[in-house]
Amino acid sequence: MSKKEVVLVTGASKGIGEAIAIKLAKENYDVIIFGRDVQRLIKLKEKLVSLNSNTIYFNGDVSNEEFVNESINKIFEKYNKIDAVINNAGIAHFIPFAESNLEQFKEQIDVNLYGVYNFSRAVINHMIKRKHGTIINISSLSGKVGFQLGTMYSATKHAVMGFSRSLMQEVRKFDVRVVAICPGSVVTDMILNSPIHPKNSEKVLYPEDVAEVVFTTLKLPQRALISEIEIRP
First to last CA, the chain: 40
Helices (H) and strands (E) in the chain, counts: 8, 7
Those residues whose C-beta lies under 8 Å from the C-beta of residue 201, and which sit 6 or more positions away, are none
DSSP for 89-119, please give it.
------S-GGG--HHHHHHHHIIIIIHHHHH
- HSE-up of residue 118 (Cα within 13 Å, Cβ side): 23
Q: Which strand (E) or helix (H) includes residue 66?
A: helix 65-79
In Å, the largest CA–CA distance within the chain is 53
Indicate if 79 belongs to the active site.
no
Those residues whose C-beta lies under 8 Å from the C-beta of residue 199, and which sit 6 or more positions away, are none
Sheet (strand 6-9) strand order: 57-59, 30-35, 6-9, 84-87, 133-138, 176-183, 228-231
Query: Do 169 and 215 touch, CB atoms closer than 8 A?
Result: no
Q: Parallel, antiparallel, or unpaired for β 30-35 and 84-87?
A: unpaired
DSSP for 189-203, please give it.
HHHHTSTT--SSGGG
Catalytic residues, by residue number, are 153
